[in-house]
Amino acid sequence: MKISIQGDKFLFDDRLTYSDFPTAKPEALGRLMNTRMVQATFDDENPETVKLFSYPDGSPFDPNRQTDEFVAALPSYRRHGVIAATVNFQGGFPQYHIHLRRDQILQDWDNNAFTPEGALKDTYAERMRRVIEGLDDQRMACIAGFFYFGQNHKLRDDAAVRRAVNEAMDFLGAVGRDNVMVEINNEANIGYVHELLRPDRVHELILAARERCGGRFLISTSYGGGGLPSDAVIETADFMLVHGNSQRPHQIRAMVEHLRARTDKPIVFNEDSTRVDNLRAAWEAGASWGYYDQGGLRPYHDGFQSPPTNWAINTFEKITFFTTVAELCGIEDAPGYRGERL
């Protein structure tokens, strides 16, 4: 499945997204409703902290189980009109929290697909390959992030960052699927130690990645809750990635309005919260929106970001998100919820 852009809309195989849903509403066409699933390839190579991610029955964390269960859940997401997922080679914060403290920005657990020199590790690459293929098989987009601020310090220097971008781009090309969009780093404006990953220089990596793949993949980067892209990112990125964390609906609308005044490229929230009022605000403003559910209060049950992850649509928050997307998109045959397991 090939992803492309026409104006401010996304296309799958040269057709506006949602065209293959028979009852889709006209306002759904060209959107990219999505969910943040950055732990789909999670592992912890730190023997001192990996015990934090054991299963409730006491068995040790299994990265292949984590990936395989994610891929198995994808059909249920698509049935509700969620047609994209954000993943990341360095994951995201993997435990329950309200707000990250400054001392939690650089993290001890080792969920990092790159060596200190920037080489891509085979084990992570293999799990990412399964994720990309699984999404493609469901006609879903993979928003593939490369770096996360909590793990970026594990690369030695800017040269290692550049090598990591090159190796990740080469890997994506070798997978042989065209359902991939690239997010250079998650929230460029938060806590990066490498200058290349900060807002004033990250556009250099967007350009380098595009050159590396010969323009095959759409490329962008994201900003933390409420942050807006720099002029350089707006100019170089193929689409706009923003986050709505800690924002209220009127602020979500204002973010879209401010961006729309500066660019006609597609606007995608690929991280926000479990708040469907923010989802509706983004929808009404003409943007696509992404669900972020940290979870972790009940291990292997709630949320999508605290491993071990239960990828099922099994909580009130998850059900509300998926059914709201189906409602807005006009997907009349989406599964109902009367206590059944989906």
CATH code at 86?
3.20.20.80
Q: Could you give the percent of the chain with pLDDT greater than 70?
A: 97
In a domain, 225, yes or no: yes
Mean pLDDT value across residues 210-225: 98
| Count of residues making up the chain | 342
Q: Examine the pLDDT at 341 and tell me if it is beyond 50.
A: no
User: Residue 98's pLDDT is what?
Assistant: 64
* Cα-based torsion angle of the residue sequence 206, 305, 242, 160 in order, rounded to the nearest 10 degrees: -20
Q: Which helix (H) or strand (E) holds 234?
A: helix 231-236
Give the pTM.
Answer: 0.96
Query: How many other CB atoms are found less than 10 A from the CB of residue 214?
Result: 9
Question: What are the start-end ranges of the E strands in 21-159?
Answer: 34-36, 84-88, 141-148
In a domain, 273, yes or no: yes
Q: Examine the pLDDT at 337 and tell me if it is beyond 60.
A: no
Q: Examine the pLDDT at 335 and tell me if it is beyond 90.
A: no
What are the strands of the beta sheet with 267-271, ordered from one edge?
A: 222-223, 240-243, 267-271
Rounded to 5 degrees, φ, ψ at 72 are: -65, -25
Q: Is 134 in a helix, a strand, or coil? A: helix
Q: For residues 38 and 94, give the distance between their C-alpha atoms in angstroms, rounded to a whole number.
A: 9
In a domain, 341, yes or no: no
In a domain, 336, yes or no: no
In a domain, 179, yes or no: yes
Q: Examine the pLDDT at 339 and tell me if it is beyond 50.
A: no
Q: Is 6 in a helix, a strand, or coil? A: strand
Number of domains in the chain: 1
In a domain, 342, yes or no: no
Q: Decide: 137 and 91 in contact? Cβ < 8 Å.
A: no
Q: For residues 332 and 45, give the distance between their C-alpha atoms in angstroms, rounded to a whole number.
A: 44
Q: Decide: 293 and 274 in contact? Cβ < 8 Å.
A: yes
Instruction: Report angle CA 253, 93, 322 to the nearest 5 degrees.
Output: 50
Give how far Cα 64 sits from Cα of 49, 69, 130, 141, 256, Å.
18, 8, 10, 21, 38
What's the domain range around 247?
3-329
In a domain, 299, yes or no: yes
List the one residue out of 261, 260, 274, 280 whose CA is nearest residue 313. Answer: 274
In a domain, 339, yes or no: no
